[in-house]
Amino acid sequence: MTNNNNENVTFSFFSKAKSANGDKPASPGLIKFYYDLCTQKRRTPVEGVEAMSQDTVRDMVDKLKTYYPASDKQISIILEKSSLLANAGHPVNIDIEKLTGGFNGTASVVINELFELEKKYVKSKPTIPQLEFVVGMFCCPAVDFESEGISRKVELENDQWRFCTPDEFVTRIKEHFTKEELSSFINKFRGEFNDWKSTRIRPGQFNYIKTLLERTDSIVDDIVLQMMNQDEAQKYIEQLLNELKRKPQTSFLEISDQEPPRNTDITDSIEADEKYVTDTVYRLMSETGYEPTNIDEILKDGKALKEYIIYLVQECYIEPEELAHMMEDSTILQDLFKDDVVKTA
């Protein structure tokens, strides 16, 4: 007897292609790959994967492959900017789990929006390079800090005052300027500052003045000296020399007219000779404008001193005749050049 009951059969003009894996359980390797992808993409695995078919898990794997989450760097930036905005009273709500990575992903769009919000609501602190540059502008009169309400002075009792220390000045700058505001201020005065800096007292003049101040028992604030231009510094050197009852000279030919130190005491004679050499070196720097970076070594080491003077002769900063006169007044210089032939006039 044949059963012709077809009530539960669905007919079609097209044959159905059956998947070989349609009812086959997912393999352990595919399941592990799915879990690894979830970890990599920072997604929460669905429950019951082990009981799903190979085709079902494969579809979930393919979907995960097309998903690109926000990178660790992007998430770090978003968290940082969100915290800054919250502290500034402008909190933002961002579902990081839903953000996508890549250049055109939603995380990139959100980061750009956060940067714009930061510019609008968050006051950025001045950077270290900005602060270092503006401290260098402290001594320049053309840089008008006072118009910004920033004084370079600290008021003391009895109408006395002193200049700010660098740290005190930096504190005032940080309290007054944001990063963007300080950038604008620096750019406003940058040209005048650079022009002023090119005329400033040279290091050799500064060091020579400090030496003369010690000998006259005088005290002048270093900031006042830094504010001098080269001409003012040279005039001040001559003033200090007059106070020491020494005729200010403008060339080494005049220096050579001085009587060499003639002390009966050997120790005093050596100290006087060392003082003469020190004065000579500082005068050379002041008059020639050539100031070596190893000045401390030159004043302490005979070899470095000799190399410095020879260089000045070779470059025609001083004439051999002047060197010969200098040697006449200094035993130290005579010993340095005793094996050299120096031309005299």
Distances (CA, A) of 13 to 8, 10, 17, 276: 17, 10, 13, 117
Region label for 149, one of left (φ > 0), alpha (ψ between -120 and 50) or beta (otherwise)? left
Nearest of 199, 201, 207 to residue 281 by alpha carbon: 207
User: Taking all residues of the chain, what is their mean pLDDT, rounded to a whole number?
Assistant: 82
Q: What are 125's strand-pairing partners?
A: none
Mean pLDDT throughout 215-221? 85
Q: Scan for tokens 């401290």, then name that residue.
A: 135
- What local confidence, expressed as pLDDT, does residue 8 receive? 56
Given the DSSP bridges, would you call strands 153-155 and 161-163 parallel, antiparallel or unpaired?
Answer: antiparallel
Q: Over 90: is that where the pLDDT of 12 sits?
A: no
Amino acid at 172: R
Contact 305, 313 (CB under 8 A): no
- What local confidence, expressed as pLDDT, does residue 191 receive? 93
Structure tokens at 276: 């003469």
CA-based R_g, the chain, Å? 40
Nearest of 238, 239, 146, 229 to residue 185 by alpha carbon: 146
DSSP characters for 29-88?
HHHHHHHHHHHHTT-PPPTTGGGSBHHHHHHHHHHHHT--BPPHHHHHHHHHHHHHHHHT
How many CB atoms lie under 10 A from the CB of residue 151? 14
d(CA 106, CA 116): 16
- What local confidence, expressed as pLDDT, does residue 127 receive? 94
> Tell me: the pLDDT tens digits for 130-186?
999 999 999 998 999 999 999 999 999 888 999 999 999 999 999 999 998 999 999
